[in-house]
Amino acid sequence: MDFFSYRNGRLYCEELAVADIVAREGTPAYVYSKATLVHHYTSIASAFAELKPTICYSIKSLANVNILRVLRDLGSGFDVTSGGELARALAAGGQADKIVFAGVGKTDREICEAIDAGIMAFNVESEEEFANLSRLAGQKGTRVHAALRVNPDVYDPKTHTYTVTGKKETKFGVDIERAMKFFQTLGKDKNVLLDAIHIHIGSPIYSSQPYVQAITKTLELIDRLREMGFPIEMLDIGGGFAADYEEGASPSALQYAGDIVPLLRGKGLRIVIEPGRSISCNSGVLLSEVQYVKKGGDRNFVIVDAAMTDLIRPAFYGAKHFLYPAQLEPGQEPPPRKMEYVPPGAVKVDIVGGVCESSDFLAKDRMLPPMKRGDLLAVFSAGAYGFVMSSQYNTRPRAPEILVDGSGYRVIRRRETYQDVIAPEL
């Protein structure tokens, strides 16, 4: 669900035609809808309200400080995975006691920064990391809070292998079988209060069933730990709720909550949720201008001014984003957002960028209306893992990020210049 729609043949973000925005700001550009962000955050908050969860928006999916401010104003905390993300959360005015810090490779510097900030919990991923955290907290004469990240060995077969995290064979967390041992040996530490469990089973997870399996296993673990005298107070169920790359592809927040809330009701646990994509994905589009159209053998290439440097998901994961001209020809119908939709007069095309790599594509074998130089193309569902994964490869300055709010917009990250790219080298 989002607030991007066609009106009189023009794509609008809320009350603004996107073509009017890029006429001033240029392409490529990321355009986000504030109303969509707010909608998804509040849907999750109200679906899970009975549990009074701490929602820690996962910064990695869309990290702009101005986006974080919008979510902070709605009451969101943050899930961070680096010192840099912690700095963003704090720069956005995030409350330290609503910040959780996950990641398998936390450095001493990052740990110290998070201790100094007074975050809610470290999501600890190994015995060695725990020992290091204890040492650093001890040196600072303080006691910190930690959750053990356990790996419940559950996954959704629809999740790309690169983003599966809940299986035993991944680098994340400790196997659920090892968790008891972990608590027995480290659970009474004087510098780290270990009274919580964290899971994150992957991203995206297209049904609630993997959550049900993982939470059920985790609750059994919590029961056993409590029986052994470890008073577990908090359960962080991670992120991974899906988003609509196509119309209606993902379950609603209410559907996830409908299956998850009954499991957690009355368990005496403070619940944390770390949604990223389900809030940010449908909030953003990437706008790009057609530069050239050419043939290569039997293939038709539409070459645009965005590239894998702006949106790497198609090249990296084989991800499919719905894309379509932002300006329709007279008589053309607005498309349903379905990959297999074939508009009248469609041509099979590859949408590619200008980077010197054959993997530089935004879509392959897509049936789209004929396009020509100067046309504006919208890549939908690009809010999550879009701009944040962009790079300057081929010395391409990164695109601007623009936030639309009703009939107004703000550039929340200006377009980079050549100077921005080169300056650190001079």
Please report which helix (H) or strand (E) contains residue 127, including its range: helix 127-139
Write down the least CB distance from residue 345 to ligand LLP, Å.
33
Supply the angle between the helices 108-117 and 127-139 in degrees, to the nearest 10: 60
Query: CA angle at residue 147 from 144 to 148, to 5 degrees?
Result: 125
Q: Which is nearer to ligand LLP, 103 or 335 (CB)?
A: 103
| Alpha-helical regions (H) of 196-293 | 209-227, 253-264, 277-280
To which residue do tokens 């469990």 refer?
A: 197
Which one of the listed residues 13, 112, 281, 356 is annotated catalytic? 356
Q: Residue 141 carries which side chain, given as an amino acid letter?
A: G
Q: Which is nearer to ligand LLP, 53 or 335 (CB)?
A: 53
Nearest residue to 421 via CA among 399, 404, 406? 399
Long-range contacts of residues 213-216, Cβ cutoff 8 Å, at least 24 apart:
213/152, 213/154, 214/152, 214/154, 214/166, 215/260, 215/263, 215/264, 216/263
Q: Which is nearer to ligand LLP, 27 or 390 (CB)?
A: 390
Are 183 and 230 spatial neighbours (Cβ–Cβ below 8 Å)?
yes
Tell how many helices (H) and how many strands (E) occur in the chain: 12, 21
Write down the least CB distance from residue 327 to ligand LLP, Å.
28
Nearest residue to 145 via CA among 105, 93, 109, 197? 197
Are 426 and 38 spatial neighbours (Cβ–Cβ below 8 Å)?
no
CB count within 10 Å of CB 108 equals 12
Give catalytic status of residue 56 as yes or no: no
Write down the least CB distance from residue 356 to ligand LLP, Å.
23
Write down the least CB distance from residue 62 to ligand LLP, Å.
9
State which residue has the least CB distance to ligand LLP.
276
Q: 3-state DSSP call for residue 166? A: coil
Write down the least CB distance from residue 401 to ligand LLP, Å.
17
Write down the least CB distance from residue 97 to ligand LLP, Å.
18
Q: How many angstroms separate the CA atoms of 315 and 363, rounded?
A: 9
Write down the least CB distance from residue 178 to ligand LLP, Å.
18
Are 387 and 62 spatial neighbours (Cβ–Cβ below 8 Å)?
yes
To which residue do tokens 């060695």 refer?
A: 128
What is the contact surface with ligand LLP in residues (CB under 6 A)? 58, 60-61, 79, 102, 163, 165, 200, 203-204, 238-241, 274-278, 313, 317, 384-385
Q: Which is nearer to ligand LLP, 276 or 284 (CB)?
A: 276
Q: Which is nearer to ligand LLP, 151 or 300 (CB)?
A: 151
Paired tokens of 291: 């530069």
Write down the least CB distance from residue 111 to ligand LLP, Å.
17
Q: Which is nearer to ligand LLP, 277 or 396 (CB)?
A: 277
Report DSSP letters for 351-363, one per residue.
EE-SSSSTT-EEE
Q: Residue 180 carries which side chain, given as an amino acid letter?
A: M
Please report which helix (H) or strand (E) contains residue 80, including its range: strand 77-80
Catalytic residues: 356
